[in-house]
Structure 1
Amino acid sequence: MSTAIDFAQLADAIGDAIVISDAAGDITYWNPAATRMFGFTRDEAMGKTLDLIIPERLRGRHWDGYHKTMASGQTRYGNDVLRVPAVDKDGRALSIAFTVALLHGQQGEITGIVAVIRDETARFQEERNLRKRINELEAQAQQS
């Protein structure tokens, strides 16, 4: 019995988006879940920069951090779940949560980064509505 895992089969079947970009920030891998989440087909995403899914107002900060990570070989987000805004093909705002890991070549050089991404837009909206409702109830309680 073989215990080898077929990466392509795994990445195609998984529910989370898997996006890999090279050291320059160009997309080199885009799984079917990324297509479902962001609306771009694999062909539309491959070779493009991550600007495809990064809101314009956040691009400067993203690229500063990205290039620092590629130069230093270290990310301060290794085990953290990052929660940030994103955009889909139609320009709609998404709330995503993701983890990242650095990818290395045979000589140990950094070749890119992989992000495993989950769409948390509905959960984020629910939390926002709950916080709003709590604030309303607290305000009512203080008036009584």
Structure 2
Amino acid sequence: MVSAIGNDGPLYGTLNNPADQSDVIGVGGIDYSDHIASFSSRGMSTWEIPHGYGRVKPDVVAYGREIMGSKISTGCKSLSGTSVASPVVAGVVCLLVSVIPEGNRKDILNPASMKQALVEGAAKFSGPNMYEQGAGRVDLFLLL
């Protein structure tokens, strides 16, 4: 499952459910200058505290500021939010699934392997910390 982490940034520990779960790919938002969007929620997950450590979240980030989308009537409008960034990651997941031969999908494809592929193929930024960017920006070219 891919889920937006929320638009409650820039404070830490503001990510939302279900993106705070370990088996969910939590997605934060960035702008076209590769800066963490001010609205993007930040990790760590807080529901385990004080009896455990919070998880690193988001898992990855994607473009989520001033993305062109369709209007309800006609034409386009500018959209912003982690709910705009998470469909980008869901699309990347679909593309990755499509390159796995159909006969092998059940053998190698599961939520953990897909999450690992996204995290390993992400482009890390030098400035933001792991609670702002997770593994970094999803990079489809690195994944393929």
TM-score tier by shorter-chain length is under 0.3
Q: TM-score with structure 1 length normalisation? A: 0.26
- The one of the two structures with greater contact order (alpha-carbon pairs below 8 A, sep at least 6) is 2
Larger Rg: 1 or 2? 1
Structure with more helix by fraction: 1
Structure with more strand by fraction: 1
